A and B are shown apart, each in its own frame.
Chain A
Amino acid sequence: MVVKKTSIDWNGSAVESGVDWLVAQSKRSEFIDLSHLWIITQTSGASSRLTEALAQYANEKGSACLLPKWSTPGFLIKPEVNFIDGLKVASSVETLAQWLLVLKENDLSEYPDLFPRLPKELDVSWGLSMGSALIQLREILAEANHDCKSVEESRLTEKWGEQDRWADLARLEDQYRRSLERNGLLDPMDAGRRWVRKSILPKEVKKIVLFGVSGFPDLARGALENLSTQGADVESVIFCTDSDDLNAFDDFGRPMRTVWEKRPIPLDDEQLKLLYGPAEQVSYASRFLNLIDDQRNEIVNIGVLDPEVKENLIVQSEREKSSFSYNDPEGKAGMQSPLYGWMVSIHELFSSGAMNAATQLMNFPLTLQWLENGGLDPEIRKWQEELDKLHTKNLCQSLEDGIFFSDRSKFSVQVPLKRLHAMLADLKTGYFEAGIENLFRQALSKRTFDRGCEMDQSFLQLLPKLSEWLKELSRVQGVSNQERFSILLGMIEKSSWSKEENESDVTMHGWLELPWADAPNLLVLGCNDSFLPASLTMNSFIPQSLRRDLGLWTDEDRAGRDAYLLNWILASRNDEHSSVEFVLGKFSQDGSPLKPSSLFFICDEKDETKLPDRAEKLFADVLPQEKNPAWAFPWKLKPGKHEKIRHISVTSFRSFLSCPFRFYLNKKFKMNEYDAEKEEADVMDFGTLTHSALEVLIEYSATNPDEGEIYKLLCDRLAKKIDYRYGSKPSLAILQQKASMERRLKRVAQIHSNELSDGWEIKEVEKKFYMDTRGSTDPAEWKVLNSWEDPLENEKSIRIVGVVDRIDIHRERGVYRLLDYKTSKKGPKELHLKNSKVRSEEYPNYFFFEQNEKTTRWIDLQLPLYKIWAEKVLLNKDILELEVGIYNVPALEEQFGPKMWTELKDGLLREAIVCVGGVLEDLLAPANHRPVSKVEYDDFENIFFHAPEDAIDQFSI
């Protein structure tokens, strides 16, 4: 094959000179007819730009243009037909599925040199990543007309001790091929290699032109040869200085590495700009672009080489709502579509069956639409509320759990949950592809898509692909639905979609497009090492040395090619009306250092200062533009109006005593956090469950108390409670907690049997009480009420509500004792009093009293209030004495059992009453409290930031 080499002067716009050259090729004079040409450009961007220019050229002549056949080099090795040699060319879905099967069905331990250490669980995810890696390996090899087998046969890796590994690879590849063949399929890479020998020259094409192509896979050369034997001329058109320079290129117009990696690049220091990070590059670009508002794209083009800069440009322009937006010709990843997010969520539920997956899935608009179109009226807020409850209260593990409990609680969310369950069953056992398709048909049945709408683009572009993949999947045999699902997700991940381009959009050109981006000014961002030249990703099968040996493209080849392109870009804009500037970052987004592109250092060896100066410039320190503003509260939170409090429970005194301001805030807003990660009973639940088991003690009476009997009684009750709350199949965590409770109950049983023998009996458990203060701070004035409904006496009345866990009586001694269970180990004094004056000015005075010359602060008033109530109702002529205390049920045996607070009488009790009185007065006429600066458990930590006073306003009155 003879290839004719032609040069085009690279000064000035490549598009203009390219068009001139093309027009001269027209086979007619009346109009531009290029239909006899097959023009291969490096990128499809180049051909569309040329097309655009041809149209305008023809238009000037009052005509139109018949275009050549355009393609990129890769096209030469991609089969245009579905079948080759009677075998169907496998699609990517089929390829991946086939690999999955091969990896699953073969005993991989028979490939010890390929898999020296097999992981324990060879599941789908491993299979897919391995399969993809092998596909990728074969893709790379095919570029140089190789496969695993041919590499093995070449014995090129023998000297590195890797021959056996390649032998394994070749054997596995053979398995894969055979498995394909059994299904009548042909691997696409194999197909490509055959295709280059079989491709047919389109009838009208007379000449194939490599038009400014700077690199293409070696395999394509075979295709060219084949086509040329069918009668096509092959010509390579090269942009360079002049025809003398043509020997710096090979026959196909590819720049020769050895020439270009040394040729000094005519670059001025002013054309290079070193900036701190992506943010700086972004604002530099937008300053640049904002200088022009008319015909922006005709005056400036932008190239972006660092993907991080690209992302930042897009987001930043969205944020600033700037007059133009950036267009990324590469599009967005399929992963970033709402459709993918939904699929992932369904997949999560599919593979785990977990309730939290179902809960997440319920929130998707697509799920709700799916339900709605299935005839359900979505009440999402209500459902969410119920789902929260199912989680917090019942800790539902599986979707089945969720259905069971929502059924029992008569929650309306049971209906959608059941639908999900049915859908899942369908996907699992039914015809998977149809299942997925139906899902979409139903979810989107009421929605239409508009080609002009940005939000619709992902659906418009991905749904057709999806249906294609589903169709291909349905042809695959031998893979489970689980595997099908994973393959499908993988396909969406790898796909891409883009928004429709607007004329005003600024396109972010890639490196290869830049010679064709011919606006007079060019700004290239992200010109750092590893993006320019783009380095090949590390591949554990083919290191660079093997690449070289196999005739594959190496990093050096790329550097040479890019050096040529850089020369070309500079040459195309070397007059006073045009400019090029290269911007590079010192750091990446996460602060990792970046290096400048090595291309900028190809200087004239003889020049004594150029290289050192350049290095000093590009390796210098730079400062960030970012301001470093001081931390500040964004706004003062406004708690709004104070609300009077007329009811208070005994237990919430503790919260008042810790910080009245927070107490009021909490009363108003009920600042409970939802714990999405809850996996087991929290401390509250744990206490509640233990308490509720302990209630059963009242049912036990025996003259000869038996520890064992008591224990059994307790355990039975506990089991019932747990069963009711968490279902018959609770999680391991609950089982452990149950065991932990049982250990405690065992000790209770022991103590209880002793106490019974001792003469104690339980009189009441869980005794609720209500008192009306009647506007008085003196408990003597308070009235005991019968129930919550009893009306309060006057407008200054406050209702105090409490529950005594247990009331014991010792008839012989004439004593009552009131006990409060605690699963912690703190005793009554510890729980109620604190010896400290720290920050005393922040609390009301009545929190404090003097005791044994020490200032003591009340931190709880629970037991005093019990006592106050009990003295009113319990004492009678037989029972004259009252004790209150804590019954500790902690983990440690030592601290176990009742601890009475015998000192709580007389003076101490009076002090308590003073404090209670203070609280009650405050509830009716809230003083203007300021938040206490530090509390032990701060619900508001995350909005107060150590300076509550600055964080929040006072209540308005």
Chain B
Amino acid sequence: MTRNKQIKLRTLIKASAGSGKTFRLTDRFIYLLLKGASPESIIALTFSKKAAGEFFDAILCKLAEAAKNHEKRKRLEKEFEFSISSSDLRIKMSELLGAMNRLTLGTLDSFFFSILSSAPLEHGLAIGFNLLDEATEREKWLKTLRQTFDESVKERSGLIDDFTLATAEAEDRVFFSWMLDLGISFRNHFALCPDVKNWGSVDQLWPETSLWKQLVENYDHVKDCQNCLEWLENGKVIFEPQLTESVKGKLSDALRDFLNYKPGSDLSKKSTVFKRLLKESMKNSRFMTVTYRKDFQTSGEWVLALKRVSAYIIGEELKIYGTRTQGVYRLLETVVNSYNHKVMEKGGITFSDLPILLSNSGDELERLNRNYRLDRKYEHWMLDEFQDTSPSQWQVIEPLLEEVLYDSEDSRMFFCVGDQKQAIYGWRGGDSRLFGHLEEKFSGRLEIEGMNESWRSGPDVLGVVNQVFGSKGDPEIMVPNWNRIWEDHIASPNTKDKTGNVAWWTSKDEIEHLQAMVNLIKEIDPVGRGWSCAILTQKRKTAREIVDYIRRELPGVPVEEEVGSFPAKDNGFSQYLLSLLRAAIHPSDKWAIGHLKMCPFLDLDESEFDSILERVRGGVYEHGFASFVIEWGEIAINGVEEDAKDFVQKRMQELLSMAQTFDKKGERDIDLFIDYARRNQAGKGAMESSIRAMTIHGSKGLTFDMVIMPEIDGGSFRNTGYGGGQNGNGVDLYQCPAKSGIGFEWVLAKPKKIIQESDPFLSELLETDEETAAFENLCKFYVGMTRPARALYLFSKPPSPNSKSKNFIYLLNDTLSASNEIGQEIIDQHNRLVGKRGSDFELAYCTGTPDWWIEKKKVNKKVGDQEGFKALNSTPRKFRNLSKKRPSEKELNEITVNELLEEKYNLGKDLGTEVHSLFEKLEWWDADGANEWLKINKCEISDKAVDLFLNTLRNQEILKLFIKPDHRTEVWNEYNFVFQKGDELIRGIFDRVVLNLSDDESIESAEIVDFKTDRSESGVSVEEMADRHRAQLEFYRMALSQITGLKYQKIKMTLIFTSRQDLFSWV
């Protein structure tokens, strides 16, 4: 192979949506293989497990195609610049397939998991740690909190005081659930910003120049306020132009609010004038403009006094937030540490712990020989969807990458693909800035390449995408960061001739949108025609509602929401099962009982009701939850209406597998199961044949023929709604990202917006936040709009010229309006798609071919035909299955617990069996050689057993059985036998058989001896005891007769009872 020039070893690819990065990745992988890299030495990480699977499939299919097809091979040769033979490819395939279980081809999480598994002790974890599901994690939190609270009561620790700090001037009625939520939501914050000094210490964080820091000690704002009021009312303050009376009134009112200010009061409820004054006075200027209908300007002592008051207010508020933050820190410190000790170190971890654990391990890791522990050495790295890597993940992989990138021999590959424009996982810790970091840090070592040719979308969709996202329009939305990375998309040779359609309709009425969408789906009938179709929303809830709506309006059209389907609570059937469980153990759960009483098929009266609940409870504890679902689910299915049967069957299946999983834990706690079930989300997949409703986030990486986006309105792009860490209790933490990109510089409970805007320091941060928010919003809609291959349909409220909200509708209007001149005919064509609509329903924009979809005809889907099974007409095998029978103890059908706990049922070797084992070894008893015999055979046997053995032999009749007779004999000790009787297989062990032989060695008669270790019961005769074993002995005789051909009369049967040193014989 010649050294190639084309393939760059270290590449960072910025791949726009649909630009075929998988294709590039698979090429690279194959290249490496052909260059002689061993499959184990390549680590390829993708965003999801599913993507990893597809990646592997694609590699193999590509290899297979190239091995068979000369053209395909040629393409590779051209790409790689060396010649490749079919057999090369086959050899590489075998190599790859043979190494399948040693490949590292998965997600970052799974990679991290395997590192941890290779060295749990080094990371402070118990061996055998596992990943907790969400419900279990919550359960563990509950337990930890209970324990921590308990300890806290005992130790009188300051948790309550900390809580009081944390909720200073805020709602404080709930504590436990508040803490639970705090722990679960902010556990990682604690790890990412461990130093208490960086939590809410506003005094240190704010620059010395902050106005509130310059106020005199014990500053009294009342005085200043009174002065301001007085001066204003006495006309001592000069405004330009002069104030009108009404404005003056408003100003006085506002000043009174300043006067009455108390720390912690809700400033957002105050008047507009108050807010403006606060904001204006904090500006760095001696002049001040009060805007109320007009601008009024002033300066002088009045302004200075007001500045002091405002600074005071800001300072006081910040201090409150600082205090809260410290309270939050202290609470977190207590509960998180306690959780880590009680749960994590014991091996209960979650996905988000993985990088944190790994990056916290410091020196230990350095010392560890990772290649050895992992059984492989990673030479080559391939990373997909790099933009979604979180800083803490990056912290773990950075040193590994450095190794590759700075490798002196230049033989290792680093291939990284991502798209900052699709960085939509900011809220989950993904940080697209790492992209820049990577670019910068390794600039000299990395080749950077862009891919903007789309192999997914046709020219119509791409045109709109370019127009909207490449507009470089309104700078508040099209932030510099976005413009810097934007490059126009072009259609690939494969897609450039595909027809397509983009349309945007507006109406004020939401119902109009829904109905229009329904008509659109009816008209196109994507499922019937075989076009894939998705409905993308911003919120899960909307997806869910739309799905409900379509189902109602278009029964029979399969539509499925892909996120947030909770099979145990999203439908009446599952709720009924849960109600049964709840009612079964909580008579005071009137909800559950009421629900059951309304279920038509149960039709219960009181007495029946209780007995049903009794059955439910008993059943669960005896057989577990899966069997409960089967039993009670089936009963309900009979009551299900015909057209809901399929759906219910599906939910039943999901519940069943949920119950199975739960049962495996061995728990029978009904409350716990209910909680588990309610939180359990159904697996995705199996959706291909439906219209799929999902969030834009969920659509990442997917392609559809057509996409409908019915929810494109929303707040301004610069809203920092998410991005911060807010939990359900309203604890909202502002985290200032660390300069290094990893972790947080500092954390502060987020002040109210009015404070953020007024305080210069915060407002500067806010500005950055807003830009980030705008960028993320662009990303989100970019992802949504680049999903379709052919058609994109948008529905929204009409853009309003007065609205200042710079949201997506605003952007669309801004960028697409220029081409708004559409002919009536085209409008009509488009409107036909959505049916007759109300008067304010309008086509706002369109391009392309409205009937692109008729290309495919409706087809009746074939049900996958089944192939016939081969060779079932074969004859049965020669040796059949026989039912098995052992001629052992009498078949006890009423065994008691005492018997089961008794020794004879035990596996261990007790006295009886020890004696038995001595007899087993004894062929003939020779009194003279007895000592010698014992010496050899009694080792490992207790003295007590030996005594018993000897005692038994003291019974002369027993002894007789062991004295070697004069004629020829053969002794079988412990011989296994088997024979068939009818359809039964009878197996057993002869304890001892003595065959009496004639001189010609033929068998004349025999005796079967069996040893019994039954405890002797007083009052029970030997005959009675023997009788219990009669049946067994009969079997033995039958067996011996079958084997030897002896008649029954020639076989004597004897039982020896070792416990009473007695015997019984049948002749």
A125 touches B346 (CB 8 A): yes
| Given contact pairs A384-B585, A460-B900, A950 touches B49 in the complex (Cβ within 8 A) | no
Q: Determine whether the beta carbon of B67 is less than 8 Å from that of A66.
A: no
Shortest distance between the CB of B785 and any CB in chain A (Å): 26
Best-buried of B372, B593, B669 by chain A (most CB within 10 Å): B669
Q: Is A132 an interface residue (CB 8 A)?
A: yes
Complex-state Cα separation, A520 to B871, whole angstroms: 8
Given contacts A464-B900, A591-B683, A598-B101, contact A160 B369 (CB under 8 A): yes
Instruction: Report yes or no: A52 in contact with B985, Cβ–Cβ below 8 A.
Output: yes
- Chain B contacts of A58 at CB under 8 A? 978-980, 1042
Which partner residue on chain A sits nearest B103 by CB separation?
A: A595
With A545-B372, A638-B600 as contacts: A449 and B900 at CB distance below 8 Å:
yes
A913 close to B (CB within 8 Å): no
- Comparing B222-230, B423-431, B617-625, B1058-1066, the segment that makes contact with chain A is B617-625
> Quick one: which of A64, A594, A892 has the most chain B CB within 10 A?
A64
Taking a contact as CB atoms closer than 8 A, the residue among B50, B545, B664 that contacts A335 in the complex is B664
Given contacts A447-B897, A463-B897, A538-B117, is CB(A555)–CB(B872) below 8 Å?
no
Asked if B572 lies at the interface with its beta carbon under 8 angstroms from chain A, I say: yes
Stretch at the interface among A12-20, A691-699, A897-905, A923-931: A12-20
CB of A943 within 8 A of CB of B547, answer no
Q: 27 A-B contacts, Cβ less than 8 Å apart?
A: A55-B986, A84-B940, A117-B364, A276-B686, A297-B881, A298-B877, A354-B146, A448-B895, A464-B906, A540-B119, A578-B874, A581-B870, A591-B683, A593-B52, A609-B68, A616-B64, A624-B685, A628-B690, A629-B558, A634-B644, A680-B176, A731-B149, A739-B160, A740-B173, A743-B172, A892-B266, A942-B575
Looking at the assembled complex, report how far the CB atom of B119 sits from the nearest CB atom of chain A, in whole angstroms. Answer: 6
Identify the 5 closest CB pairs spanning chains A and B, nearest first. A593-B53, A669-B594, A64-B979, A335-B666, A629-B646
Contact A83 B940 (CB under 8 A): yes
Could you tell me if B571 and A615 are in contact, using CB atoms closer than 8 angstroms? no
Judge whether A120 and B121 touch: CB under 8 Å: no
Chain A contact residue count (CB 8 A cutoff): 214
Interface residues of A in 269-320 (CB under 8 A from B): 270, 276-277, 279, 287-288, 291-292, 295, 297-300, 311-312, 315, 318-319
Note all chain A residues with C-beta closer than 8 A to B444.
none
Taken together as a complex, chains A and B put the C-alpha atoms of A366 and B345 apart, in Å, by 34
Contact with A along B894-932 (1 / 0, CB 8 A): 111110111101111100000000000000000000000
Give every chain B residue within 8 A of A460 (Cβ-Cβ): 895, 900
CB of A723 within 8 Å of the partner chain: no
Given known contacts A344-B666, A608-B86, A615-B64, A595 and B879 CB-to-CB distance under 8 angstroms: no
CB distance from B470 to the nearest CB of A (A): 35
Interface residues of A in 192-223 (CB under 8 A from B): 203-204
Interface flag for B714 (CB, 8 Å): no
Q: Which of A404-412, A671-679, A833-841, A864-872 touches B?
A: A671-679
Task: Let me know if B126 and A732 touch, CB within 8 A.
Answer: no
Contacts of A117 in B (CB 8 A): 121-124, 361, 364
Among A270, A535, A679, A945, find the residue whose CB has the most chain B CB atoms closer than 10 A.
A679
A628 close to B172 (CB less than 8 A): no
CB of B177 closer than 8 Å to a CB of A: yes
A716 at the binding interface (Cβ < 8 Å): no
- Does any Cβ of B come within 8 Å of A466's Cβ? yes
- Extra 9 A-B pairs, beta carbons < 8 Å, given A52-B985, A67-B987, A733-B176: A52-B880, A270-B870, A291-B869, A467-B900, A595-B100, A601-B94, A672-B589, A674-B591, A890-B171
Closest CB in chain B relative to A147 CB, distance in Å: 18
CA distance A341 to B667 in the complex (A): 5
Kindly report which residue of chain A lies nearest to residue B342, judged by CB atoms. Answer: A121
Q: How far is the CB of B120 from chain A (nearest CB, A)?
A: 6
CB-CB contacts of A456-489 with B at 8 A, as 1s and 0s?
0001100111111001000000000000000000
Do the beta carbons of A13 and B173 come within 8 Å of each other? no
Q: How many angstroms between the C-alpha atoms of A609 and B122 in the bound complex?
A: 48
Least CB distance, B456 to chain A, in whole angstroms:
18
- Over the window 308-341 of chain A, the binary record of Cβ atoms lying under 8 Å from chain B Cβ atoms (1 yes, 0 no) is 0001100100110000000000000101101011
Q: Which residue of B lies closest to A353 (CB)?
A: B150
B853-887: which residues lie under 8 A (CB-CB) from chain A?
864, 866, 869-872, 874-884
Instruction: Report if A831 contacts B (CB, 8 A).
Output: no
- Is there a chain A Cβ closer than 8 Å to B297's Cβ? no
B859 CB to closest chain A CB (Å) equals 15
Question: In the complex, what residues of B have CB within 8 A of residue A203's CB?
Answer: 973
| A593-B876 in contact given A133-B128, A630-B557 (Cβ < 8 Å) | no
A295 near B67 with CB under 8 A, answer: no
Tell me whether A708 is interfacial, beta carbon within 8 Å: no
Q: Does A877 contact B (CB under 8 A)?
A: no
Whether a CB of chain A sits under 8 angstroms from the CB of B688 is: yes
A637 to B598, Cβ gap below 8 A?
A: yes
Tell me if A129 and B126 are in contact (CB < 8 A).
yes
The answer to whether A315 and B587 have CB atoms under 8 Å apart is no
Question: Which one of A295, A397, A579, A947 lies within 8 Å of B552 (CB-CB)?
Answer: A947
Rounded to whole angstroms, the CA-CA distance of A210 and B317 in the bound complex is 84
Q: Please, how many angstroms separate the alpha-carbon atoms of A455 and B897 in the complex?
A: 15
- Tell me, rounded to whole Å, the shortest Cβ–Cβ distance linking A680 to chain B: 5
Q: Give the chain B neighbours of A581 by CB distance below 8 A.
A: 869-870
Cα separation A605 to B97 with both chains bound (whole Å): 14
Give, as a whole number of angstroms, the nearest-CB distance from B544 to chain A.
Answer: 8
A598–B663 CA distance with the chains assembled, in angstroms: 33
The residues in A between 656 and 692 inclusive whose CB is less than 8 angstroms from any CB of B are 665, 668-674, 676-677, 679-680, 683, 686
Determine whether B373 belongs to the interface, using a CB cutoff of 8 Å to chain A: yes
**Contact B874–A891 (Cβ < 8 Å):** no
- The answer to whether B641 touches A635, judged by C-beta atoms less than 8 angstroms apart, is yes
- Whether the pair A628, B1043 counts as a contact (CB closer than 8 A) is no
Contact yes or no, B374 A674, CB < 8 A = no
- List chain B residues, Cβ under 8 A from A384: 585-587
Given contacts A52-B879, A503-B881, A672-B591, contact A635 B171 (CB under 8 A): no
* Contact assessment for B647 and A598 in the assembled complex, using a CB-CB cutoff below 8 Å: no
Q: Is the CB of A601 within 8 A of B601?
A: no
Q: Are B264 and A520 in contact (CB under 8 A)?
A: no
Find the B residue at minimum CB distance from A534.
Answer: B101
Does any Cβ of A come within 8 Å of B174's Cβ? yes
Q: Are the CB atoms of B545 and A315 closer together than 8 Å?
A: no
Shortest Cβ distance from B776 into chain A, in angstroms?
28
Measured CB to CB, the closest approach of chain A to B186, in angstroms, equals: 19
Q: Is A31 an interface residue (CB 8 A)?
A: yes
Tell whether, in the assembled complex, residue B152 and residue A732 are in contact, meaning their CB atoms are under 8 Å apart.
yes
The listed residue (B558, B588, B668, B973) touching A674 by CB distance below 8 A is: B588
Name which of A224-232, A438-446, A766-774, A914-922 contacts chain B.
A438-446
Note all chain A residues with C-beta closer than 8 A to B872. 291-292, 299-300, 521
Q: Tell me the complex Cα distance, A612–B92, Å.
A: 11
B770 interfacial contact with A, CB 8 Å: no
Structural contact, A126 and B345, CB atoms closer than 8 A: yes
B1039 at the interface (CB under 8 A from A): yes
**Which chain B residues (643-657) contact chain A, with CB distance < 8 Å?**
643-644, 646-650, 653, 656-657
Per-residue contact bits, chain A 579-622, to B (CB 8 Å; 1 contact, 0 not): 10100000101111111001001110100110111011001110
Closest chain B residue, CB of each to CB of A33: B1043
Q: Is B806 an interface residue (CB 8 A)?
A: no
* Chain A: minimal CB distance from B760 (Å): 27
B128 to chain A, nearest CB (A): 5
Do the beta carbons of B893 and A319 come within 8 Å of each other?
no
List A residues 935-957 near B (Cβ within 8 Å).
939, 942-943, 945-947, 950-952
- A146-173 interface with B by 8 A CB criterion: 160-162
Which residue of B93, B570, B987 contacts A611 across the interface (Cβ within 8 Å)? B93
Question: Which residue of A is nearest B548, CB measured?
Answer: A946
Nearest to A589 among chain B residues (CB) is B657
The reply to whether A341 and B53 form a contact with Cβ atoms under 8 Å apart is: no
Knowing A605-B87, A615-B61, A674-B582, the reply to whether A626 touches B871 (Cβ < 8 A) is no
* B97→A31 contact, CB < 8 A: no
Q: Are A162 and B621 in contact (CB under 8 A)?
A: no
